[in-house]
Amino acid sequence: MPRASEGEVCQAVLSFVTEGAYPEESVVAAELTATALAKELELISQARQQVENEISSLSRENTTFDADDWIVQAKQLHADIERSRVTAREIVAQHEHTRPLRSKVEDAGAKVGLIETEIAFNQAVAETLEVVQRLCQQFQNGRAALANGHITAAIEHWESTSAAIGRDAFFTNTNVMSILTLETRGLLQEIEEALRLRWDEHLKVDRQHGQFQVIKGDAADSLDNTIASLSRLDLFTSACEKLLRDLCIAIIDPILLPRADGGSRAVSITETGIRIQLEYSKTTVAETLNRTTEVLDYLRQSLPPSILAELPQSFIPSVSSKAISGWLSSAIPTTLEGLEEFEKTLDCVLLFTNTIQSWGWNGIEELVSWVNQAPRLWLTRRRVDSLDSVRKVLAASKGTTKQVERVEKEKLTQADEALLENATTDDWDASWDDEKDEESTADQATTTQPEDDEDVSAWGLDEDTQEQFQPDTAAITEEEDANDAWGWGDEEEEKEEKGVQSKPSQANPGTTKPANGELPAQSSVPREMTLREVYTVTDIPDSILDIVRQQINDSKAISQFAHSTSRVASSGAGLLALPTLILAMFKATSSSFYSLKLGSGQMYLYNDSLYLAGQVRTLMEEHELSRLSSDVEALEKFGKFAYSKEMQTQSTIVTDLLDGAQGFGQCAEQPFKTECDNAVSATADRIRDVYKEWQPILSHSALLQSVGALLATVISKIIVDVEDLGDISEDQSKQLVALCNQISKLEDLFMPETTGDTEAVPVTAVYVPNWLRFQYLINILESSLADIKFLWLEGELGLEFSIDEVVDLIEALFAESDYRRRAIADIKRAPR
């Protein structure tokens, strides 16, 4: 029943008070709140006021107003009002009395709803348990069918159970769902395991003993039913992949993966299956491919079509790759003698691919491509083998050395002969003109002193490196003719007229120049002179040359009639590109080998590189291979760079040793005197040690040139340090002379090779460009002012020192005096 609103309750109470009307049942059952009481009182007050107003109005209109009646009615109205108030209070009290009853009604209603919910829940639980019981029964039925070997029935039970679990909404987000899911998964795993066991029973692969059998079975246990069940569970693809992997390991690998000695295992095929023999035996490529064909043919006849469909996707390509890596790649010959057998191998491969294609199988594209690319593969094999041969030559070398002779012929004029006759030595080590290298009849020149800007730049060295090995560059005139084979210039002729030995040509390290003597009248009839010199090389260049020569000879031989039908004949021209790679391989790997295995390895590398370059040039001219000219030049630059690298190292060592003198600033005082003595002695000893170390390696002229460069570096530093001294006392002067004399004793290293009874005279000035400058410095340090003045005015001091240098040395050696001032003035006024 709908309850009355608060307004309806108030209006009903007012009607009861004013008119005595009883409220309806809905109003009586309604709750009278505190706010309703306030509103009710307000309505009663309004009704009272309205009554009073009506009485007043009636009293004014009625002239015959009876006061007593009015009073009686008023009292009666007052009594009615009081009675209404009592009635209202009674109503409120009755309302408060009904509240506990209402609570009991609500509580009873709630209990009724709970009981109804519990009844519904119990009904749902009962239904769910019934469903679970049915599902569990299906699980049991599926396992029972599986135990009886009815895998198809077990799969059907599993599928229906899984579908029922998915359809039933009662199981969502419940523990029952988890339990049923685990049961479903467990049943599926049992089915899969049973299928794998049955699959293995049909297709037995024994990886350990190399055996394979196909047992198809019958009826429900047939291989086709097993395949259908696997496909139904999406397990067939993975099962096939595992089978093919096992077949590769058990059958294919023993056939196609040979041992290091080239042995392989034979195969026995019968109606019952395949069996790999335990023993290894020597096998040819043809036999291996035949065995592989027999295995594939057995699989083709024994396996179901559904499995055979998987073979071209992975199995056949794997067989192709293993055949190439295991047998075919190694069957590529490295010599021309093996080409005939290689052709037979290619025919066997084509026969194998045609057989596979006749079965309608794919996957042998890699083998077909391999046959088509045989010329490129053969050339690649030759390239790899030749480069590996270079590595083997370097690794196997025992450092055996031999001496080789360099021979060159020069055309001499009468003037040249006169200079040679007047030379102080029998040394023929003249400049080797680059333009005449092509006329060389034997080995090329050895070490090259990096003093000339042109030659050093050809080595790939920077200017700093050039300056390090040419301390006397300023003494060489710009007018010197670098293209002159002997390097004679006007300035050198002037020096020879004054009795001073000329400086070496800057073209090559083996350069010497005759000194002293006047040029006789020249003759227009030239005479040929043969120049010979011996130096040491290792066994490596000849071995490298044999590898290069083999490529060239094979390139010509393969174009002959005997190999005209060979598939790889078209690659013959490509062999001519291999010498470049061989020489590049030598340059890339030789530096570390020579440094580790040979003493003075860089000097050996220099000799070997130039010797090899000369031999390759001869080979190039013999076979007209102009393409090798750049390789020859690069090899020469490589050798010169090795020489320069060794010279840099030794120059750094002697410079560091000489730094121990600390600029000779206090060389006459202890303990600096001892330090200077030790530094100079250690420097001189180091140069002698280098001389002994390089003597059996370099040619004599190259040896003198190299040691001369180191000595020139030491002398340049000494001269600079002495010139930087602002004040030189008498004791310092004597000590400096003693120290310089220790360096001067190294002159005995520069003895020329002599013949007959000719007395040998050191040619130090020829190989040490600043040697005369150094000797003049010693003279200045131990001479008087008059002697120095005489050397400048009458001697040749001006050829080695400038005016400023001489003046600075005089001011450092002699105290201020009129005599010193006059001497300096005379030196400055003297004509140059």
- pLDDT tens for each residue of 217-234: 776 678 888 888 888 888
Average pLDDT score over the chain: 79
Q: With CA atoms as reference, report the closest residue to 603 among 513, 522, 512, 706.
A: 706
pLDDT classification of 452: cutoffs 50, 70, 90: very low
| Region at 487 (left for phi over 0; alpha for psi -120 to 50; beta for the rest) | left
In this predicted model, which residue has the larger pLDDT, 173 or 769? 769
Rounded to whole angstroms, how far apart are CA atoms 382 and 558?
13
pLDDT of residue 169 exceeding 80: no
Question: For residue 554, what are the contacts with CB-CB under 8 A and spacing of at least 6?
Answer: 335, 336, 382, 572, 575
pLDDT for 710:
95
Give the pLDDT mean for 669-693.
Answer: 92
Give the pLDDT mean for 797-811.
Answer: 91
pLDDT for 754:
64
Give the phi and the psi of residue 203 in degrees, each rounded to 5.
-120, 90
Give me 84's structure tokens: 């209404």
pLDDT for 165:
74
Residue % of the chain over a pLDDT of 90: 36
pTM for the full model? 0.65
Residue % of the chain over a pLDDT of 70: 80
Q: Got the DSSP string for 180-248?
A: HHHHHHHHHHHHHHHHHHHHHHHEEEETTTTEEEE----GGGSHHHHHHHHHHTT-HHHHHHHHHHHHI
Considering only CA atoms, give the Rg of the chain: 59
pLDDT classification of 46: cutoffs 50, 70, 90: confident
Q: Point out which residues pair with 205 in neighbouring strands.
A: 212
Element (H, E) at 278: strand 274-282
Q: Domain residue spans in the chain?
A: 6-132, 196-377, 659-829
Longest dimension (CA), the chain: 193
Give me 549's structure tokens: 């020569």
- Can you list the positions of beta strands (E) in 378-526? 401-412
pLDDT of residue 506 exceeding 60: no
Give me 468's structure tokens: 């390090």
Rounded to whole angstroms, how far apart are CA atoms 210 and 233?
30
3-class SS letters over 577-622: HHHHHHHHHHHHHHHHHHHHHCCCHHHHHHHHHHHHHHHHHHHHHH
pLDDT for 103:
83
pLDDT of residue 187 exceeding 90: no
- pLDDT tens for each residue of 465-499: 333 443 333 333 333 333 332 233 333 333 333 33
Element (H, E) at 263: strand 263-269
For 161, half-sphere exposure in the C-beta direction (CA atoms, 13 angstrom radius) is 28
Contacts by residues 752-760 (CB-CB < 8 Å, ≥ 24 positions apart): 752/424, 752/425, 752/426, 752/427, 752/512, 752/700, 753/425, 753/426, 753/427, 753/700, 754/425, 754/426, 755/426, 758/425, 758/426, 760/425
CATH code 1.10.357 for 659-829: yes
pLDDT of residue 338 exceeding 70: yes
pLDDT of residue 712 exceeding 90: yes
At residue 667, the 3 state secondary structure works out as: coil
Q: Residue 708, Cβ neighbours under 10 Å: how many?
A: 28
- pLDDT tens for each residue of 386-440: 999 999 999 998 888 999 988 776 666 655 555 445 443 333 333 333 333 333 3
Rounded to whole angstroms, how far apart are CA atoms 638 and 98?
120
pLDDT of residue 75 exceeding 90: no
Q: What's the Cα-to-Cα distance from 776 to each of 387, 470, 767, 769, 772, rounded to whole Å? A: 56, 19, 17, 13, 6
pLDDT classification of 757: cutoffs 50, 70, 90: low
Q: What's the Cα-to-Cα distance from 726 to each of 133, 443, 782, 818, rounded to whole Å? A: 117, 52, 17, 20
pLDDT of residue 240 exceeding 70: yes
Give the pLDDT mean for 340-350.
Answer: 91
pLDDT classification of 620: cutoffs 50, 70, 90: very high
Q: With CA atoms as reference, report the closest residue to 73 among 97, 94, 51, 93.
A: 51
pLDDT for 233:
87
pLDDT classification of 13: cutoffs 50, 70, 90: confident
pLDDT of residue 383 exceeding 50: yes
pLDDT for 220:
61
At residue 403, the 3 state secondary structure works out as: strand
In the DSSP assignment, the letter for residue 279 is E
pLDDT classification of 296: cutoffs 50, 70, 90: very high
Rounded to whole angstroms, how far apart are CA atoms 42 and 731?
140
Q: Got the DSSP string for 689-746?
A: HHHHHHTTTS-HHHHHHHHHHHHHHHHHHHHHHHHT-S---HHHHHHHHHHHHHHHGG
Q: Got the DSSP string for 505-533?
A: PSS-TT-----SS------SS-EEEEEEE
pLDDT for 717:
93
Q: What's the Cα-to-Cα distance from 350 to each of 353, 355, 372, 664, 696, rounded to whole Å? A: 5, 9, 10, 84, 60
Give me 50's structure tokens: 């309205």
Give the pLDDT mean for 338-364.
Answer: 91
In this predicted model, which residue has the larger pLDDT, 13 or 806? 806
pLDDT classification of 445: cutoffs 50, 70, 90: very low
pLDDT of residue 22 exceeding 50: yes
Count of residues in the chain = 832
Q: Identify whether the C-beta of residue 295 lies closer than 8 Å to the C-beta of residue 269.
A: yes
pLDDT for 640:
94
In the DSSP assignment, the letter for residue 439 is G
Give the pLDDT mean for 749-754.
Answer: 82
Rounded to whole angstroms, how far apart are CA atoms 339 and 563?
8
pLDDT for 412:
60
Q: With CA atoms as reference, report the closest residue to 248 among 198, 317, 305.
A: 317
Strands 211-214 and 203-206: antiparallel
Q: With CA atoms as reference, report the closest residue to 517 among 413, 411, 421, 412.
A: 421
Strands 527-538 and 274-282: unpaired
User: Can you list the alpha helix ranges (DSSP code H) found in 432-577?
Assistant: 453-458, 463-468, 490-497, 540-557
Give me 130's structure tokens: 């019934």
pLDDT for 59:
67
pLDDT for 482:
30
